[in-house]
Structure 1
Amino acid sequence: MASPAQKAMLDKIKTADGFIAALDQSGGSTPKALRLYGVEESQYSNDDEMFTQVHNMRTRIITCEPFNGERVLGAILFEDTLDRSIEGKPSAQYLWEDKQVVPFLKVDKGLNDEADGVQTMKPIPGLDSLLEKANRQNVFGTKMRSVVKRANEAGVNAVVQQQFEIGRQILAAGLVPIIEPEVDIHSTEKAEAEALLKTAIKNELDSLDDNQQVMLKLTLPEQDNFYAELVKHPKVLKVVALSGGYSREEANQKLSRNTGMIASFSRALTEGINAAQSHQDFDTAMNDAIESIYQASKA
């Protein structure tokens, strides 16, 4: 049974304008995210210190005045962030109660080595207990990422089938999964891979129960509005776009040409912010980023 907060979150995701902030860099991507923010590896000496530094960065983003539910629909958190507090409250609780931003949780444990042109997800031990913890903290949904590098039908099908198999487990726990089969923007077979991906996703969506809905997080496609069928699909709550290494300007331009898709940017959101910035300069940079991504998501 969904809580009143989760019902309110569902209504917000379904009806409000805005985008989803991806603040879920995990152990492998955190050093790069910190470097881009101006925190060098010499400034921390172990994983605990590294995660404290990145939590400080995320806290600064989440608590800044421009970051609120008027333009930011949701935020995807890393488990370490879920376990920490922001201004004295558990992170997910702070997001919803103080900012009216819907909390999501990254649940995957990274990628397997490439096979058949794709990288499937590693096993996720303890997923049920993680989903229980997410429910206790009024998290609305989850996110998990795979990567498609080539237009290999067997590989693409394996990625999508794995995503939906775990997605059903997440739905059964009362959470909404964000299914993320990222297509590498540098792939020489990107358009062909997207065609295979769309077919595989449609097949899985059609097999969901009538009362089940998922979200999709997809690379901005080569052909504008290529995912229009998925945007309109009754089993899809929302289709969000990852920036995938595009600059914010390029990602926004591509997004604005894809009707019904909204942003779920990570690097493109934090582009231009720095640990050394003054409070005013940081807020200005965040406001500019949030406004540009919000407008591209509304287009």
Structure 2
Amino acid sequence: MGPSDERVCCVQASVSLDGRLRDMGKPVIDWLVYGYSVLSATCIVPDQARKTVASPGRGILAIDESSATCGKRLASIGLDNTEVNRQAYRQLLLTTAGLGEYISGAILFEETLYQSTTDGKTFVDVLKDQNIMPGIKVDKGLVPLPGSNNESWCQGLDGLASRCAEYYKQGARFAKWRTVVSIPCGPTALAVKEAAWGLARYAAIAQDNGLVPIVEPEILLDGDHGIERTLEVAEKVCMVTPGAEHKEKASPEAIAKNTLTMLRRRVPPAVPGIMFLSGGQSELEATMNLNAMNQSANPWHVSFSYARALQNSVLKTWQGQPENIEAAQKALLVRAKANSLAQLGSYTGEGESNEAKKGMFQKGYTY
């Protein structure tokens, strides 16, 4: 089956300034997945991908950090930022036995897509053996947006078609493009329009080359705004939380109420899948907020697409030592299982470690 055979439809959608999706193409959307840290990701998915990515009790493991960002995480445990160390860490994550029980897809960085285990097995094949769909980050990062209020736009459209074709050949079956919106900086109409245009063009190009496009416009946690302001800005799909520097902390129930209010206003019931990113929340907060949103009967599959909220305890347990690999993989399964239960609305929060309770917000965080 080639790229064109897997494609269900090719819709170019843009996010209008009031947060609605506007269909700019003729085909009917088969289904969408909205993922996000504090805004959204939208994705048009073939049947096979839908059944895998939106499996009950499963979510997405995001390990698509750039080499520079991965290096910062390695530095936190005293390791140099070398390809050998990055490969070792990713091998630890992806070879965890039983991971496929809780994880449906893994978003990879380009380097990781082409890497293999020390035994010579490609990471793509490692994932496929556990029924985990390989995905790939395709954007080229953020740069300043001229004429805006210190805001950014995402680059990477040049050469995207040829890159997507190569990623498909390598085994990737979905893609991710992340851009950001900042509440303290506005957001300005220019920044929102630029984000929508870039996401729509990327989605069309990715799908033309057989990759399911995950569209991820993210509202950053930065700021001291209240949850009401986030709801106002986030009526484009997001986990509605107050700014990280806001004095009043919102409960999981309040976050769930505001988030579901916004989703019901903006997302059609026919959309089956909504995936959240953690966006700097602690491991515990991300899981509790997801669980709270699954206490009600939702028309969509509400799940997770977590990076730091799945990896933080793992990294701290591993410490770069081979003898700690088994314990680190157990830590990954603990977090993956906790979020699996949260997706089912069955998470209790009992027995969580102190490490899981530590916040991971970093002001001005770059991915």
TM-score range, shorter chain: 0.7 to 0.9
Matches of 1:90 and 1:65, distance apart in 2? 16
Query: How far off is 1:17 after superposition?
Result: 2.7
Matches of 1:121 and 1:107, distance apart in 2? 11
Runs of at least 5 residues in structure 2 that lack an aligned partner in the other structure: 8-45, 242-254, 295-300, 346-367
Would you say 1:167 and 2:167 are equivalent positions?
no
* One-letter amino acid of the counterpart of residue 91, structure 1: F
1:228-247 matches, cutoff 5 A:
228=264, 232=268, 234=270, 236=271, 238-247=273-282
* One-letter amino acid of the counterpart of residue 198, structure 2: Q
Residue 292 of structure 1 corresponds to which residue in structure 2?
338
Query: How far off is 1:219 after superposition?
Result: 4.7
* One-letter amino acid of the counterpart of residue 2, structure 1: E
* One-letter amino acid of the counterpart of residue 185, structure 1: L
Matches of 2:313 and 2:54, distance apart in 1? 30
1:117-151 residue CA offsets vs partner (Å, 9 max, x unmatched): 64220233321121111221332210111111124
Query: How far off is 1:287 after superposition?
Result: 1.8
Change (3 A) 1:65 1:148: same
Which residue, out of 100, 105, 108, partners 2:139?
108
Residue 271 of structure 1 corresponds to which residue in structure 2?
312
Change (3 A) 1:108 1:132: same
Would you say 1:198 and 2:235 are equivalent positions?
yes
Q: Is the CA contact 2:65–2:109 (under 8 Å) kept in the aligned structure 1?
A: yes
Q: Is the CA contact 2:173–2:212 (under 8 Å) kept in the aligned structure 1?
A: yes
Residue 157 of structure 1 corresponds to which residue in structure 2?
193
SS in structure 2 at match of 1:120: strand
**Aligned-residue CA RMSD (Å):** 2.5
Would you say 1:70 and 2:70 are equivalent positions?
no
Q: Is the CA contact 2:290–2:304 (under 8 Å) kept in the aligned structure 1?
A: yes
Query: How far off is 1:7 after superposition?
Result: 5.3
Residue 252 of structure 1 corresponds to which residue in structure 2?
287
Report which stretch shifted further, 72-81 or 176-185.
176-185
Which residue, out of 209, 212, 218, partners 1:182?
218
Query: How far off is 1:193 after superposition?
Result: 5.2
Runs of at least 5 residues in structure 1 that lack an aligned partner in the other structure: 45-49, 202-217
Residue 146 of structure 1 corresponds to which residue in structure 2?
179
1:155-210 residue CA offsets vs partner (Å, 9 max, x unmatched): 223212321221111122222111111111123347535534435x7xxxxxxxxx
SS in structure 1 at match of 2:136: strand
Would you say 1:11 and 2:48 are equivalent positions?
no
Q: Is the CA contact 2:94–2:126 (under 8 Å) kept in the aligned structure 1?
A: no
Which residue, out of 91, 116, 121, partners 1:59?
91
* One-letter amino acid of the counterpart of residue 113, structure 1: P
Larger radius of gyration: 2
Matches of 2:158 and 2:51, distance apart in 1? 31
Q: Is the CA contact 1:2–1:174 (under 8 Å) kept in the aligned structure 2?
A: yes
Larger helix proportion of the pair:
1
SS in structure 2 at match of 1:29: helix
* One-letter amino acid of the counterpart of residue 74, structure 1: G
Report which stretch shifted further, 276-285 or 266-275.
276-285
Change (3 A) 1:292 1:124: same
Question: Percent of aligned pairs with the same residue?
Answer: 24
Aligned residues: 269
SS in structure 2 at match of 1:280: helix
Q: Is the CA contact 1:120–1:147 (under 8 Å) kept in the aligned structure 2?
A: yes
Matches of 2:312 and 2:126, distance apart in 1? 24
SS in structure 2 at match of 1:278: helix
Matches of 1:279 and 1:266, distance apart in 2? 19
Higher relative contact order (CA 8 A, sep 6+): 2
Query: How far off is 1:112 after superposition?
Result: 1.2
Residue 214 of structure 1 corresponds to which residue in structure 2?
none
Moved over 6 A (4+): none
1:19-34 matches, cutoff 5 A:
19-34=59-74
SS in structure 2 at match of 1:271: helix
Change (3 A) 1:13 1:181: same
